[in-house]
Amino acid sequence: MDDYPLLNLFLTMMYVFLWVLWFFLLFKVVTDVFQDHSLGGWAKAAWVIFVIVLPYVGVFVYLIARGKGMGRREAEQAREREAAFKQYVKQAARDEGGTDTGTGHVSDLAKLADLKDRGHLSQEEYEKAKRKLLV
């Protein structure tokens, strides 16, 4: 360790960090190119070739030219994912409970059992309501 000064170690760590950061930017740009539906096939090919042949210049030009749209597309995709997730949760709750309120068969059975325990329902009424609920 004596032959490798602390400053060189710091610089090496910084170069590795910048290298990883560069690859992150490169992958982000390439995925944005392919996820952008407004670009045609030739435009996508041109951007990818530009980024591969002149990587530093290509990425910086892409960020300058299309950076604002890149942020909008990312926000729109996040909204779409959130809406799809909410729709999935509503559908799962509806499938579980049979209603949009999210109360499932379990809570309805618990209410019936509570009514029976309090004496508001007879055993026959309880069984009849339970069969009706489970069918």
The pLDDT of residue 91: 84
Q: 55-60 — which CB contacts under 8 Å span 24+ positions? A: 55/26, 58/29, 59/25, 59/26, 59/29
The pLDDT of residue 102: 45
- Give the three-class secondary structure for 122: coil
CA distances from residue 29 to 22, 52, 125 in whole angstroms, order as listed: 11, 11, 65
The pLDDT of residue 45: 93
Task: Record the pTM.
Answer: 0.55
Q: What is the pLDDT of residues 64-93, one digit of tens each?
A: 998 888 889 889 989 999 999 988 888 887
Please report, rounded to a whole number, the percentage of residues in the chain having pLDDT higher than 70: 92
Residue with the larger pLDDT of the pair 60 and 95: 60
